[in-house]
Structure 1
Amino acid sequence: MDSTDLSYFLAVVEEGGITAAARRLNCVQSNVTARIRSLEAALGVTLFHRNGRGVVPTRAGERLLPHARQVVAALRAARDSLRDLLHPDRPGGRLAIGSMETTAACRLPPVLAAYHAAFPDVELSLRTGPTITLTEEVLSYRLDMALVSGPVDHPDLMVADVGVEQMVMVAGVQATDEWPAMLYKPGLSALCFRRGCAYRERLESLLAGLGARQPRLHEFGTLEGIIGGVAAGIGVSLLPLAAVDRSPLRSSLSIQTVPAPWAVAPTQLIHRRDAIMTAALARFIDYARLGWQC
C-alpha cells in the first residue's frame, strides 16, 4: 500500500465511480482499477461494492476512508510547505475553503478578490454549507479551513475570530403586525436554512425565548430563496443585516432589531490543530477579516 493507492481510492469514493475518478485523476480507467485491486490485495479486504450506478464503499472501505483523507491531506500540505520554502514570497498549491452561504455571499467576495490578486498561484476552491457540516469536513480533512458561526470549541481545532454579524428580524413590508406582536400571531411562518445551520438554531432559540406561538418552519436551500420568500410575505426570518442590506429586494423588506443574546453572531475561522500551516493558509487567515472592513 502506498500513498498513490490511497489517493486513487479517495478519488473513487468521492466521485462515486471508476470512470469519474479516472477523469478527475487524468488517467485511463484501467489504471484506477489496477490501483484499487492492488490496494485490496495488500489489505486483504474488498473496498467497494459494485452496482449499476457505480461503486460504494464496503464497511472496510468506510473504515479506511478517514485515514486515506488524512494521509492525502498531509502529503499535499507537505508538498505545499516545501514549495513555500523554495518560494517564500509566492504562496501556491491548493486551498480548500468552506463557508456559510451568507458569509460567502456578503463577506467573501472582496476577500477572494484581494487574495487572488495578491497570490495568483494559489488554487482556491470554495464549498458552502451549514456550520455543523463545514466543521465535520474540516475535522475529516476534506476542507483546509472554514468560516463558521461561533462560538466553536473542539480540541482538534484552532479558532480565530474574524468578524461579528448584527442579526435582525426580517419581514415583508406588507406585514401589518407590529414587532414583536407578529410573533404571537397564530400560524406564524418562519423561513430558515436546513438543519445544521447556526442561524436556524438562533432563529428557533429566539422564537422560543420570546414565546412565539408554535411557528411553522419552512426550509429553503439558498439565501436568495429565504429573502425572496420573506419579501413575498410567506413569513419572517432572522438574518445578518449585511445580507439584507445587500439584497436587491431590500425595499420590499422591513427590519426589526432583536434583543440579546440573539442580536449578534460571531464568525470564526477554523482549521485543524495538526494541519501544516502553509503560506497559503496563513495568508488567507490574514485576509479573511477584510470581509468585515468593507
Structure 2
Amino acid sequence: MNISDLRFFEAVSRHGSMNRAAQELHTVQSNVTARIRVLEEELGVSLFQRHARGVSTTPAGKRILPFVGRITKLLADARAAAQDDGSPSGALLLGSLETTTALRLSPLLSDFAKAYPDVRLVVTTGTTRKLLDEVIECRLEGAFVAGPVSHPDLDQEVVFQEELVLITSRSIHSMDELAKINDLRTIVFQIGCSYRQRLETLLAEMGIVTAKPLEFGSLDAIISCVSAGVGIALLPKGVVAAAWQDGRVAVHELPPERSLVDTLFVRRSDAYTSSAMTALLDMVRPKSVTGSLSSKP
C-alpha cells in the first residue's frame, strides 16, 4: 500500500470531489482517479460512491480513513525524530481559537518567531470542535481550544483562563431587559464554538427564546454587529475591552460559574514531541494561569 495513494484518498474524502482534491495536491484529476482506482483494487473494496455532485466515502472508506492520518503522522514523526538534533527547526502546525490568537498568542508567537527563525510556524484558526478534529486526525500537531475536553487520544494542558462576558448594544442596560426584546438574536461563530454553546445554555436558563443565530467567522464582525444593535454575544472580556472602552458596546458580567473557562493546549498523546513544540510550550507555560499538566481526562 503506497502512502501517496492514501494521501490522495484522504484528500478526496475530505473534499468530496476528485477535482478539488487534484487542485489541492497540485495534480490533474485523471491522476487522482487512477490512484484511487489502484488503491481500491489493492484493498478489494470500493472507497467512494460516485454521483453527479462528486463522490461520497463508502462505509469501507470511512473505516480505513482514521488510519490514514495516523500512518501519515507516524511517518512524519519518524522523519522529524531522525532530523531533530535538539535545535528547534522545521514546520510546526498549530490551531487556535480566533479569540485566543487575538488576546493571548499574537505577542507570544511574535517572540517565538524571533527566537527560533528556523521554525516554520503555521497557525490556523477555527472552532473548538473543528480544531479537536484536526488534532485527532493528525492534521494539526496541537491546538489551543476551550475546555472542558475529554478524548482518550488527547493530552491536555491548561494554559490560560478567560472571563467571559455578555456584550450588547449600549441601549441595553441590564440582562433583565433581554427577555423583553422580540426576536432577540445571538451573534456567534460557526457551530462547534464552545462560547456559542455556553451562550445558548445561559439564555435557556434565563428562559429566553432567541431567533435563529447569525453566524460570522470574524471577531471584528461579531463586535460590530453587537455594537449596531443586531444582537448579543458571549466573548472573553479581554477581546472586547477596546470596544467597551470606546463606548461601542455594553458589557454585562456573569457569575464565576458561568464566566470562567479554561483554554487548553491539546495534542495527541502518541505524537512525537519535537524540539520546536517543546520550545513553544516553554514560552507559553510562564504566561499560563496554572501551568498545570492534565493528562488524559
TM-score, normalization: structure 1?
Answer: 0.84
Change (3 A) 1:114 1:14: farther
Question: Which residue is equivalent to 1:109?
Answer: 106
Change (3 A) 1:237 1:159: same
Contact 1:269–1:285 (CA under 8 A) maintained in structure 2: no
Structure 1: 5+ residue runs without aligned partners?
none
Question: Which residue is equivalent to 1:286?
Answer: 282
Q: Deviations over 1:28-66 (max 9, x none)?
A: 656544433322221112223345554443332222211
Q: Count matched residues.
A: 287
What letter matches 2:89 in structure 1? P
Match of 1:89 among 84, 87, 90: 87
Change (3 A) 1:254 1:73: same
Question: Which residue is equivalent to 1:45?
Answer: 45
The CA distance in 2 between the partners of 1:56 and 1:250, in whole Å, is 50
Contact 1:111–1:291 (CA under 8 A) maintained in structure 2: no
The CA distance in 2 between the partners of 1:169 and 1:226, in whole Å, is 12
Q: Deviations over 1:195-246 (max 9, x none)?
A: 322111222232234x243243523223222211110112322211111024
Change (3 A) 1:291 1:243: farther
Contact 2:243–2:249 (CA under 8 A) maintained in structure 1: no
For 1:1-294, list aligned pairs within 5 A. Answer: 1-26=1-26, 31-51=31-51, 54-84=54-84, 87-92=85-90, 94-175=91-172, 178-187=173-182, 188-209=184-205, 211-216=206-211, 218-221=213-216, 222-247=218-243, 250-289=246-285
Contact 1:98–1:134 (CA under 8 A) maintained in structure 2: yes
Distance apart, 1:90 and its partner CA: 3.2
Q: Identity of aligned pairs, percent?
A: 39
Contact 2:135–2:141 (CA under 8 A) maintained in structure 1: yes
Change (3 A) 1:268 1:113: same
TM-score, normalization: structure 2?
Answer: 0.84
The CA distance in 2 between the partners of 1:213 and 1:32, in whole Å, is 51
Contact 1:107–1:291 (CA under 8 A) maintained in structure 2: no
Contact 2:88–2:279 (CA under 8 A) maintained in structure 1: no
Q: Deviations over 1:83-125 (max 9, x none)?
A: 11xx321321x33222222222322222332222233333333
Structure 2: 5+ residue runs without aligned partners?
290-297
State which drifts further: 277-286 or 68-77: 277-286
Distance apart, 1:288 and its partner CA: 3.5
What letter matches 2:147 in structure 1? G
Change (3 A) 1:27 1:203: closer
Distance apart, 1:23 and its partner CA: 4.7
State which drifts further: 75-84 or 219-228: 219-228
What letter matches 2:239 in structure 1? A
The CA distance in 2 between the partners of 1:264 and 1:68, in whole Å, is 37
SS in 2 for 1:233: coil
SS in 2 for 1:40: helix
The CA distance in 2 between the partners of 1:128 and 1:253, in whole Å, is 25
Contact 1:163–1:289 (CA under 8 A) maintained in structure 2: no
Change (3 A) 1:74 1:20: same
Change (3 A) 1:58 1:151: closer
SS in 2 for 1:251: coil
SS in 2 for 1:12: helix
State which drifts further: 51-60 or 148-157: 51-60
State which drifts further: 196-205 or 51-60: 51-60
Distance apart, 1:27 and its partner CA: 5.0
The CA distance in 2 between the partners of 1:9 and 1:258, in whole Å, is 47
Distance apart, 1:9 and its partner CA: 2.2
What letter matches 2:249 in structure 1? L
State which drifts further: 163-172 or 112-121: 112-121
Distance apart, 1:146 and its partner CA: 1.2
The CA distance in 1 between the partners of 2:199 and 2:151, in whole Å, is 24
